[in-house]
Amino acid sequence: MQPDSVLEQLIILSHEVGREDRQLAILGEGNTSGLCDDGTFWVKASGSRLGDITAQGFSRVRLAAVMELMQRDHLEDAEVGPALMATLVDPAHRRPSVETFLHALCLHEAGAKWVAHTHAVSVNQVLCSQLGAEPFRTHLFPDGIVVCGRYPAVVPYIDPGFQLALAVRDELRRYQSVHGVAPKLLLMVNHGLVALGQTAQEALNITLMADKWAKILVGTYALGGPNFLPDTQAARIDSRPDEHYRRSRLLDAAAHV
């Protein structure tokens, strides 16, 4: 997809996840990205607001340049800003979000084309609890599996930025080694969620379904605890041909985002 088309869809996706009534991200929280065919990607610039972001709120960076930075073991805080500025396609663009490293990994390591990172109140009610991400490791209802995948990827709390990206890289590689596929949903304890989509619509779908999943989880704990699906049933739902068809139809809806 050409850069202008990616940016157009990315603005719409950002507005959708940044809607105040959805409580997925407020103020300068969260960030989004979209991959272009030329090896670059658009990512939210630092300090932009998703809910009312415009084209000027995004920066276009070279994926290979960001991945080259990821070959390092460490970046000092003072080095991050200049390093990210050096990855820009256009030096006039604003400084990319500090989570640009995370987005590059999701695009490069996990094969996503669209990424939405939010701090949903509902999801963080769980991730910031004593239970952390554990309640998300077992499903409650079929659509959670269909949209968010059989298992989420999970990382513990790590200071956002370069060090967090290193942990995400390790988890993405572990996940794909164990499950043979890339995750659709990444949960970061005490932080938020990341939706990894093949389309802008899929990234939005995953985010909205994770929000619903979290709300149901919290409600079940108020009524005696979750009644998780047996593993055999979850596996059955994940492999059913009709559910695969529904997944494909949900991706096709991307043209409307």
Sorted by where each begins, the domain ranges of the chain are: 3-256
The β-bridge relationship of strands 192-197 and 114-118 is: antiparallel
Taking residue 42's Cβ as centre, other Cβ atoms within 10 Å add up to 26
In sequence order, what DSSP letters do the residues of 8-40 get, joined into one string?
HHHHHHHHHHT-GGGTS--TT--EEEEE-TTSE
Q: What is the pLDDT of residue 50?
A: 97
Whose structure tokens read 């869809």? 9
Coil, strand or helix at 98: coil
Distance CA 132, CA 120 (A): 14
Residue type, 244: H
> Which amino acid does the sequence have at 128?
C
pLDDT digits (tens, 9 = 90+) for 143-161: 999 999 999 999 999 999 9
Contact at 8 Å (CB) between 166 and 85? no
200-255 per-position pLDDT tens digit = 999 999 999 999 999 999 999 999 999 999 999 988 988 877 656 666 667 665 43
Contact indicator for 41, 60 with CB cutoff of 8 Å: yes
Tokens read off for 108:
């490069």
* Angle CA 136–137–141, to nearest 5: 65
From residue 219, alpha-carbon distances to 141, 146, 234 in Å are 14, 21, 21
Q: Strand order of the sheet with strand 153-155? A: 58-62, 40-44, 31-35, 114-118, 192-197, 185-188, 153-155
Which neighbouring-strand residues pair with 23? none
Q: What share of the chain is helix, strand, coil (3-state, %, to 5)?
A: 50, 15, 35
The mean pLDDT of 15-37, rounded to a whole number, is 96
- Distance of CA 94 to CAs 44, 135, 163, Å? 9, 38, 22
Q: What confidence score (pLDDT) does residue 256 get? A: 46
- The CATH superfamily holding the domain 3-256 is Class II aldolase/adducin N-terminal domain (3.40.225.10)
> Is residue 64 pLDDT above 80, yes or no?
yes
Q: Select from 184, 187, 215, 195 the least CA-distant residue to 127.
A: 187
Query: Beta strand pairing status for 153-155 and 185-188?
Result: parallel
Q: What is the reported pLDDT for 152?
A: 98
| Separation between Cα atoms, residue 97 and residue 116, nearest integer Å | 13
pLDDT tens-digit map of 65-123: 999 999 999 999 999 999 999 999 999 999 999 999 999 999 999 999 999 999 999 99
